[in-house]
Structure 1
Amino acid sequence: MTRPDQPVAAATSDDALFGSEAADYARYRPGLPDAAVHLLAATRHGVPESVLLDLGTGTGQVPRALLPVLHRLVHIDLVDVNQSMLRTALTALEPVRGACTVHAFTGEAHTFAPPAPGRAPSLITCCRSFHWMSRPEVPAMADRVAAPYAVVAITGDGSLWTHEAEWTAALRGLIQTCLGDDRRAGPRGPYAGPDRSYEEDLADSAFSDVAEHRFPVARAWTPEDVVGYLPTTSFARRALFAGRHHEFEAQALGLLKTHARGGVLKEDAEFTVLLARRPGGAA
């Protein structure tokens, strides 16, 4: 198994955004709903040996969820710009990967190339990270490297910044009091939302046969878990507070406790899965 300090392509790790929060990311970020995981696995029904390419893998949530249900998975390629995340992902996958081989690639998603011949991915996943990528170039890369019957799956469910509830509105207001009205995107300045939908990106690519699936998700957060989650986001990471993050976290915890009911903060989210194929490319 290749470690991220032995990448197949020379690349510079971008640890500026989430480099120091990999452990918090693994602990506090919500996982994928079971229904979405089984949907992804079902796309590989009848494929004897599946290869997974997970773009923006973070701490490896997608492959960890798929390994127990996608039994014909023979190889996984992890791609991330952040070596700390890749190390965390590799550590998490090691005890559960079995005979499945795993390779880590440090670099931007659109620059990925398979590490060896015969490893064309049949499933390409991108969970909660497509908005950080060069969106026209990622499907073009997928078209170059993927098997003829491959599926590209873009998934996500927003964040606590976008979720509309009384407690998230109060939390968002506290963050804006500290950092300004614009939503921050880590060291990259204000967040600029996409000017078009992911469906439009895919429609203009080789993977233009797109199907959308939505899964309701009910989550129960504790105030402490929300405070643990916040440093893993681009809009409330600790470095943005210029040494005042302890004060902010204490304020956030107090605010969240006033909104919790029985110690619980409820989030009713929706997890979206876009499954994209080349026209006529269903397995």
Structure 2
Amino acid sequence: MTLFGLVHYARYRPRLPDEVVQLLVQELVGVHAPTLLDLGAGTGQVALSMLPALPRTAHLDLVDQDQGMLGTALDELQPHLGGHTATVHAIPAEEFAPAQPAYQADLITCCRAFHWMVRLAVLAMASRVAAPQAAAAVMGDGSLWTHPAEWTAALKGLIQSHRGEDRRAGTTGTHREPGRRYEDDLAHSAFSDIIEHRIPFTRAWTPPSVLGYLRSTSFARPDLFADRPGFEEQAQALLLQHAQDGLLHEGGVFTVLLARRPGASR
């Protein structure tokens, strides 16, 4: 991802709702010096969300294939670390192998990124490094492309008028739904004891923040548009038309699949 995209990714990708943070933190109660392993960490949205709620003895491992994203994540985290420690690993998630022989992750998270991964291989890796009572949380909340509001539908239509019906994904391809549900992947892994949590959330966007978000996405990144200024001018006008008191509201559900080894305590 370009530096331009990294800046917008870090600034405009939403962090975890407070209710999700509290749900995850409950998994670490009683652990003196917990280790959080975040897979597909991007620019650190999960780590930045969790940091204020973690004990100062906590350590964070951030894994992502994109070195630039991890560099941005460290820049974002550094002013807030305090007594916490953080390490980044620029590798595919399934290749994570801790240097310390006694390493154990007390909570493994993957937010908005599991669909990009070799999922069963990632879960096999997670089983190797997870503490006996650790939980794995696969979570996400969709995107403005999938959100069913009047203003997001109009925005999606505008993007499609420039780029065609298919949703772009990654650097060259188009979006395809996963071949099977994440619950089925988890059921075929060591983490087969699964509870689904559906947590409602609301967000308020401004037209500039929506444009910033779009620049960070694979379906509306700047290089997809022959006339980027023209597209953004149209998008700005559309968003202003739909805004109420300058705000655009998104209400959705944040889904957390919290999975453990069978028999592990809750």
User: Does 1:278 find its partner at 2:244?
Assistant: no
Asked if structure 1 preserves the Cα contact closer than 8 Å seen for 2:57 and 2:83, the reply is: no
Larger displacement relative to structure 2 (180-189 or 19-28): 19-28
User: Does 1:251 find its partner at 2:220?
Assistant: no
Deviation of residue 95 (structure 1)? Answer: 2.1
Equivalent residue in structure 2 for 1:262, among 245, 248, 256: 245
Runs of 4+ aligned residues of structure 1 deviating over 4 Å after TM superposition are none
Deviation of residue 247 (structure 1)? Answer: 1.5
Which runs of structure 2 are paired with 1:62-211 in the superposition (5 Å)?
62-71=46-55, 73-211=57-195
Deviation of residue 73 (structure 1)? Answer: 4.5
Secondary structure of residue in 2 paired with 1:43: helix
Which runs of 5 or more residues in structure 2 are unaligned?
none
Aligned residue pair count: 266
- If the length of structure 1 is used for normalisation, what is the TM-score? 0.90
Asked if structure 2 preserves the Cα contact closer than 8 Å seen for 1:20 and 1:84, the reply is: no
Asked if structure 2 preserves the Cα contact closer than 8 Å seen for 1:48 and 1:72, the reply is: no
Q: Distance in 2 between matches of 1:119 and 1:94?
A: 23
Secondary structure of residue in 2 paired with 1:78: strand
Partner residue, 1:11: none
1:166-215, Cα deviation, whole Å (9 max, x unpaired): 11111111111111101111323111111211111101100000111111
Equivalent residue in structure 1 for 2:24, among 40, 53, 61: 40
User: Does 1:228 find its partner at 2:212?
Assistant: yes
Q: Distance in 2 between matches of 1:89 and 1:261?
A: 33
State the one-letter code of the partner of 1:116. Answer: Q
Q: Which has the higher helix share?
A: 2
Which runs of 5 or more residues in structure 1 are unaligned?
1-14
Q: Distance in 2 between matches of 1:19 and 1:156?
A: 25
Q: Percent identity?
A: 56
Secondary structure of residue in 2 paired with 1:269: strand
Q: Distance in 2 between matches of 1:221 and 1:20?
A: 20
1:105-148, Cα deviation, whole Å (9 max, x unpaired): 10111111113233211110111111111111111110111111
Over the residues paired in the alignment, what is the CA RMSD in angstroms?
A: 1.4
Asked if structure 1 preserves the Cα contact closer than 8 Å seen for 2:20 and 2:199, the reply is: yes
User: Does 1:23 find its partner at 2:11?
Assistant: no
Cα distance change, pair 188–231 in 1 and its aligned pair in 2 (3 A): same
State the one-letter code of the partner of 2:98. Answer: P
